[in-house]
Amino acid sequence: MLHFDIMDGEFVPNFGISPPFIAAVREKTEVPFDVHIMVTRPLRYIDALASAGADLITFHIESEDDPNETITAIKAHDIKAGLAFSPKTPTEIVIPYLSYIDLVLPMSVEPGFGGQSFIPSTLEKIEKLHHKIQDIDNSPDISVDGGVTVDIGPQAVRHGATILVAGTAIFKSEQPEAVIEKLRTVV
Ligand code: ZN
């Protein structure tokens, strides 16, 4: 999947990627688009992102819109819904939504900027989520985003992560294909 980080300059102190950019990339590839929106009011962007070609939209529990309403709005487009939470947010807050989402994303860095180091306590959060989803039919993926490297990736997978999001580890590497291959084959 191709993971896009959308930032509104309000939820996080940075800007990044707009729906027209996603639509332009969509013309070039059929790879699934995993769109992570770090914005204060996610509801107002769902229609535009779905039209732009998102296959999955992940919004933050800390944003201002109602999570159930936002999940419903995403699913109305027949695409998948994900729920992210920032490092300082307790895992318990997302637990009630696990049956209704396709992906849960414990952020392993403060959202907003690339190039940060993985926060080690994220591994415990992944494990807690992994245990919580065992009883759920069609249980959500557990994605990990922020500071994922070829060293961290296997640890996250051992704790229950099923999707690894890597930015800097791939883009700053001289051998990006090799990094992707390594991340895909961790056990
Ligand atoms: Zn992201």
CA of 108 to the centre of ligand 1 (A): 10
165: confidence class by pLDDT, cuts 50, 70, 90: very high
CA-atom Rg of the chain in angstroms:
15
What's the pLDDT tens digit per position in 118-134? 999 999 999 999 999 99
pLDDT band at 187 (very low <50, low <70, confident <90, very high): low
- Mean pLDDT, all residues of the chain: 95
- How far is Cα 16 from Cα 139, in angstroms, rounded to an integer? 30
Number of Cβ atoms within 10 Å of the Cβ of 134: 8
Q: Which of 8-12, 46-50, 60-64 is least confident?
A: 8-12
The single residue of 5, 8, 34, 102 carrying the catalytic annotation is: 5
d(CA 81, CA 180): 24
- For the segment 49-66, what is each residue's pLDDT rounded down to a tens digit? 999 999 999 999 999 999
**Cα separation, 147 vs 5, whole angstroms:** 14
| Model confidence band, residue 19 (pLDDT cutoffs 50, 70, 90) | very high
Contacts (Cβ under 8 Å, ≥6 apart) of 8: 15, 38, 39, 40
- In DSSP terms, which residues pair with 103 in a beta bridge? 82, 141
Please report how the helices 152-159 and 122-132 are oriented relative to each other, as an axis angle in degrees rounded to 10.
Answer: 30
Read off the pLDDT band of 72 (50, 70, 90). Answer: very high
CA–centroid distance, 187 to ligand 1, in Å, is: 23
Expressed in angstroms and rounded, the spacing between residue 1 Cα and the centre of ligand 1 is: 12
Helix (H, G, I), strand (E, B) or coil at 116: coil
pLDDT in tens, 100-120: 999 999 999 999 888 899 999
